[in-house]
Chains A and B, each alone.
Chain A
Amino acid sequence: MAELLPELLAVRGVSVRFGGVQALTEVDLTARAGDITSVIGPNGAGKTTLLGVINGAVTPLGGSVRLDGADLSGRPIFERAAAGVVRTFQNLEIFSNMTVLENVMTGGHLHAGYTLLDSLLRTPRFRREEKRLAALCREKLDFVGLAHKAHLPAADLPYGEQRLLEIARAIAVEPKLLLLDEPAAGMNNKETQQLGAIIRRIRGELSIGVVLVEHDMELVMDVSDRITVLNFGRILAEGTPREIQDNPEVVAAYLGED
């Protein structure tokens, strides 16, 4: 707690407007390497928009996004993925036309070290790299507990497992920072507990920084190192889970409602 970890993500002064709606106003967010940083707030507070700004899906009016000191502002989504920012989606975006393993291998797109010519000629390099990638992706599936379903069509998985598949696919990108958008939505208590353990292991075993947007307060308070509270697109509070729970403004605006 005392020693300050290096800044992994630094969002500074980000504002977003959708037509006449001010979605975010001068928002800052800092995530330190090795931390699980949560963003909470009522519906419409701008949490998903903030994730969009970080991963490049949403263009802000102003402000900057830095990862490991490198400025990502204005760069397209796929370049940010290569730079180390990957997200999952609140409304599942599983590749329903593929198997479970192929989904994860698509996550490994950037790590398949062969060219189009290699795939056309089926060179030894193609075979070696595809094999290596498949093995790597099986590990990722194993990490979330889906290894036994590798060859099923992804669309056949139950809802909770599709959420885990999204996580496996995202960590196959081997990011520095993983943005999780309501990963527990639609999960039962037991699944949510397992998810909490997986999120901790992503930080602990894979050394990936996590930014978590989540409504399940039990999960948030359980896994988070730091929490930022958004309300109507502005930052209401920032602190440790204990500080947030004791903050009267937060309780009034958000936590008290539950």
Chain B
Amino acid sequence: MAVSARSLQLAVFAGLLAAAPLALPNDYYINILILCCFNALIVMGLNLLMGYAGQVSLGHAAFFGLAAYTTAFVTATAGLPVWAGVPAGIAVSALVAWLIAVPTLKLQGNYLAMATLGFGIIVSIVFNEAVNITGGPSGFVGIPRLKLLGYAFTSDTAYYYLAAGVLWLATLVSRRIIDSRTGRALRAIHVSEQAAQAMGVDIARHKRFVFVLSAVYAGVAGTLYAHHLTFVAPSSFGFNFSVQLITMVVLGGMASLWGAVAGAFFLTSLPEFLRVFEEMDILIYGAMLVACMMFMPSGLVGGLGKLAAWLKRKLTANPTPGQKPGQKPGLKADSRG
């Protein structure tokens, strides 16, 4: 039962991703949707790290940026094809994450948060100062657009379907990791490192794994981002963006795959909806964040789940004639976990 419910969720998600562009009036909105996919990708990795394994990274924007700049350098500066730049970017993110993880994750406590905070700031400085390589504060221009197996992703719609496909695949991978011995070990580490170790879980190895995996997700997003915009600038990869990513994790719902997607899509598109309020937008944005955290402390997905349960109780409390209580069709299966 549980397995088929999860397959259904993935199928519905695929359907929603496929149908989303049809509901949009023009290419401008497609671009926002593409950005949503990138952010959801990073947030999903960060949620595996934070929501499931309980380890905090305050520098995830740096992994996103490292991959973006690496593929920019490999393709635009070195002139190599995109299919070489993309894996190189992802590999650099993963390698750097591994180098950070080896010393810090042996320690117990929040050393990862400290280390990634410092790392994120250093990387941001490098992006700004290494002008010869990165182009400095004014950015890196002239990154080629993505071309795979002879197909050039020239239209935004095509690029959206690529980003959405990658996001869907990342969701599938996350789901399968969570529902395995590795996922149980990660969740165990979150609650009690002592007990997890006592059960034979090598916690340092698992923490390293999930941290590198989250950097890979950010790396995939970073390379796709660079080849989509064809321009990258350091301001996109600063500490502010790292904090925004964490906000998306928490707002969507910790330890919830769909929470990661909901948080990223909601917070990425929200400023667009608020544009009509002009200067008031940032106030309303803040007020909405506060309201979400007050009324849905377990995140958007958890909050909607509670709302669904409440509606179900209301409905079953006043059964329509001819229908016994409890016979109502289930509203929405609990999608946590």
Contacts and interface: CB of A to CB of B under 8 A. Distances in A.
Contacts of A170: 198-199
Interface string A232-247: 0000000000000000
Contacts of B110: none
A55 to B, nearest CB: 6
Contact of A106 (B177, B199, B203): B199
B181 A95 contact: no
Contacts of B195: 89, 93-95
A76 B182 CA distance: 19
Contact of A86 (B182, B192, B199): B199
Contacts of A95: 187-188, 191-192, 195
Nearest to B194: A93
A109 B201 contact: yes
Given A55-B198, A76-B197, A106-B199, A97 B182 contact: no
Given A109-B181, A120-B173, A81 B200 contact: yes
B312 interface: no
A77 interface: yes
A102 B185 CA distance: 10
Contacts of B198: 55, 57, 77-78, 81, 86-87, 89, 93, 170
Interface residues of A, number: 34
A96 B191 CA distance: 7
B196 to A, nearest CB: 7
A143 to B, nearest CB: 17
Given A78-B203, A119-B182, A120-B177, A106 B197 contact: no
Interface string B182-221: 1011011011101111111111000000000000000000
Contacts of A98: 184, 187-188
B200 A109 contact: yes
Given A93-B194, A106-B196, A109-B185, A78 B176 contact: no
B197 A93 contact: no
A137 to B, nearest CB: 11
A201 to B, nearest CB: 21
Among B176, B180, B182, B202, the one with the most A-chain Cβ atoms within 10 Å of its Cβ is B180
Closest 3 A/B residue pairs (Cβ):
A119-B180, A81-B200, A93-B195
Interface of A: 55-57, 76-78, 81-82, 86-87, 89, 93-98, 102, 105-107, 109-110, 112, 114, 116, 119-120, 122, 126, 130, 169-170, 173
